[in-house]
């Protein structure tokens, strides 16, 4: 139940230099994964490798198993194209499951969009 005017899920996409930034807010679960898959797919197709696709999950309140699987699938798609998926996460709702599954380095997790856009 949403009590403070929050929408259950929304995405927005923008180009930042050569990178493509996908902002995600709300909950990532089995009902919202199709929408996120479509948005990430668009980002993967539009980025020019080796620039990354940055998934900004700082507005995510819940990250379910299907969402994690989706991130891994799109990381694989990016890698096959010569790019990478970089995840921005700074909330317990996203960090806990990624840490528990030891996916922090696999998904290149960064604490801010600025960190994600700064070359290592």
Across the chain, mean pLDDT equals 93
Q: With cut-offs at 50, 70 and 90, classify the pLDDT of residue 120.
A: low
- Quick one: which of 73, 38, 43, 47 has its CA closest to 55? 43
96-120 per-residue burial string, b: 16 or more CB within 10 A, e: under 16: ebbeeeebeeebbbbeebeebbeee
Distance CA 10, CA 31 (A): 12
Each residue of 23-34: pLDDT tens digit? 999 999 999 999
The whole-number average pLDDT for the span 5-22 is: 89
Each residue of 55-81: pLDDT tens digit? 999 999 999 999 999 999 999 999 999
The whole-number average pLDDT for the span 97-116 is: 97
- In this prediction, residue 67 carries a pLDDT of 97
Taking the whole predicted model, whether its pTM rises above 0.85 is answered as yes
- In this prediction, residue 2 carries a pLDDT of 42
The whole-number average pLDDT for the span 92-102 is: 98
- 87 neighbors 60 (Cβ within 8 angstroms): no
């Amino acid at each position: 139940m949403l009590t403070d005017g929050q929408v259950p899920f929304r995405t927005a996409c923008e180009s930042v230099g050569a990178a493509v930034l996908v902002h995600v807010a709300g909950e990532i679960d089995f009902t919202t994964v199709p929408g996120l898959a479509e948005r990430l797919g668009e980002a993967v197709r539009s980025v020019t490798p080796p620039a990354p696709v940055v998934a900004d999950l700082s507005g995510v309140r819940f990250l379910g198993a299907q969402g994690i699987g989706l991130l891994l699938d799109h990381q694989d798609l990016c890698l096959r194209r010569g790019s990478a998926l970089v995840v921005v996460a700074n909330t317990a709702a996203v960090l806990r499951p990624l840490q528990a599954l030891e996916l922090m380095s696999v998904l290149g997790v960064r604490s801010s969009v600025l960190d994600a856009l700064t070359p290592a």
